[in-house]
Structure 1
Amino acid sequence: MKNHNDSFIRGRLRSFKFAFKGIWLLITTEDSIKVQSFIAIIAIIMGFFFNLSNIEWMFQFLIIGFVLVAEALNTAVEKLADFIHPDYHKKIGFIKDIAAGAPTFAAITSLIIAGFIYLPKIVLLLEK
């Protein structure tokens, strides 16, 4: 909530506080975010193992962020829909299904990018 007595800097700091609170809530309460964060950690460890180039690191971190943002937005839509209509409703179910499609698109995209990054490296490793 905006406090009209806040200076510009104080308002930005309050915004960061709320944003980090949101990240903490996602990480500590949402299983999908926990799973995606675990996968991200594995990808980062693999990146060090396979000595990724700067461009590969860039793509890897972009796609990790893309997946986590999609999961977070999906969670927000689901929580809002459940708040508005806690009982099953066909239209709410439709909205939630569409929202669930976003992280699915992101996850599929991440697998494609991971294939471009890691498959050639794995093939080279196996050929040795």
Structure 2
Amino acid sequence: MYDFITGRIKGGGYAIKGAWLLLKYEPSIQVQFVISIFVTVAGFYFDITSTEWMMQILAIGLVMAAEGLNTAVENIADFVHADFHVKIGRIKDVAAGAVFFAAVVAVIIGLIIYIPYIF
């Protein structure tokens, strides 16, 4: 039982380290993080409902997670085959496409939440 608990604590530490590395070194995550700060401030300014907060936080988490996974896929692909390769390019494009879907959903959620407050 002790090993299980210490393993989970170590795993949490690795996850925090990974999140910090993403925020420190990855421009795409940095942009998404800044956007998340703006929409969070907007949420307080417009006093959005609890349900709207949940949807907004879910959208932010979805985009940040997708960006992180995309970064991991790109790093692995570059490690496996550093030179240009058609299949590696396709893998990277598909991973970026997943981020695109997440971002589009997040924008739609943001519009649904904030358009009524703005107009």
Rounded Cα–Cα distance in structure 2 between residues aligned with 1:9 and 1:78: 32
Where structure 1 has 5 or more consecutive residues not aligned to the other structure, the ranges are 1-5, 124-128
1:8 to partner: Cα distance: 1.0
Corresponding residue to 1:30 among 13, 26, 33: 26
Rounded Cα–Cα distance in structure 2 between residues aligned with 1:115 and 1:24: 29
How many residues are treated as equivalent by the alignment?
118
1:119 corresponds to: 115
1:126 corresponds to: none
Q: Percent identity?
A: 52
1:74 to partner: Cα distance: 0.4
Where structure 2 has 5 or more consecutive residues not aligned to the other structure, the ranges are none
Structure with greater helix share of residues: 2
TM-score by length of 2: 0.97
1:47 aligns with 2:40: no
Task: Kindly name which structure, 1 or 2, has the bigger radius of gyration based on alpha carbons.
Answer: 1
Amino acid at match of 1:50: F
TM-score by length of 1: 0.91
* Deviant stretches of 4+, over 4 Å: none
Rounded Cα–Cα distance in structure 2 between residues aligned with 1:9 and 1:95: 36
